[in-house]
Chains A and B, each alone.
Chain A
Amino acid sequence: MRWIWIDRILELERGKRCVTIKNVSAAEEVLHDHFPAEGDRPAMPVLPNPLIIEGMAQTAGIMVGHAGDFKEKVILAKITKAEFYNAARPGYSIRFTAEMDNYSKAGASTQGVCELIDPHTQEASPLAEITLMFSHIDHNMAGLAFPEHNFVFTGQLMEMLRVSGFTSDK
């Protein structure tokens, strides 16, 4: 299953910032059910907000992983804040900008801004603000052991880096 909610990485600055883009398409199946027409109400296809949070988690997660040379298993551990100001309709793009707030051996906190871009006018308007916490799970407080294999930065996310023109060591 493909679980990638960003389309391209635009900027990646080590330990500081990552910018990605996601195009919202009417062809995406999830939009057909969110929300379908009901009674007199016409269909209102919008990208569900939890998937916008996932897009930010992937954007910020790549930034956090990159800061540790993709050696750490970076897991989304907490959605500290998610505030939405608009809805993401098909035909628009979402620009995710994640910035590193704090980074340590145990994990990281990130600040994120999502903007809705109208490809017709190129105008950007606020979509959401999302603050996240990530855990480096091999250094978790509970002392739990996880598989040695890095199951976070596997094919899909690393492939995203490659097709966007970045390498993991750049």
Chain B
Amino acid sequence: MTHDEVFEKVREVLEDALGVDEDEVTPEATLGGDLGAESIDYLDIVFRLEKAFGIKINQAELMADNVLSDPQYVQDGKVTDKGMEELRKQLPHADLDAFDESRQVDEFPNIFTVESMVKFVESKL
């Protein structure tokens, strides 16, 4: 499957799960910020990606939510150096450079762009 084919299918999944229009789902759009995804939507997206691509996804593997709930990686609402290291290891599909500047946990959902979803799916195919 080519990168464009994966993108098209991911776009359809996001349109259905989030009720957004086709032209809103650009590669750089963030799921939480631009497309308005809330926490339950990520589970919906996981279920739909599994069905669309015939793959099995562990939500922790996609989102690394285990890191953010671990006190050794988060202090005072910010991800520690060790935490950043762990996130980079667990989320090779995500672009963490912008997040690295603020490291605020509540901004974390913004790292998930449409392109990061496409890369994640490609790593599973």
State the A residues within 8 Å of B (CB).
77-78, 80, 101-102, 104, 106-107, 109, 133, 135, 140-143
Within the assembled complex, what's the spacing in Å between the Cα atoms of A103 and B13? 18
Query: Which one of B20-28, B43-51, B78-86, B113-121 is at the A interface?
Result: B43-51
For the A-B complex, the count of residue pairs with Cβ-Cβ distances under 8 Å equals: 37
Chain B: residues with Cβ within 8 Å of the partner, total of 16
Query: Who on chain B is nearest to A102 by CB?
Result: B47
Residue pairs across A and B with Cβ atoms less than 8 A apart, 20 shown, are: A77-B43, A78-B40, A78-B44, A80-B17, A80-B44, A102-B47, A102-B50, A104-B43, A104-B59, A106-B43, A106-B59, A107-B40, A107-B43, A109-B47, A133-B40, A133-B43, A133-B44, A135-B40, A140-B39, A142-B39
Which residues of chain B from 62 to 108 have any CB-CB distance to chain A below 8 Å in the complex?
63, 65, 68-69
B interface SS class: helix
A interface SS class: strand
**Chain A residues whose C-beta falls within 8 Å of the C-beta of B63 in the assembled complex:** 141
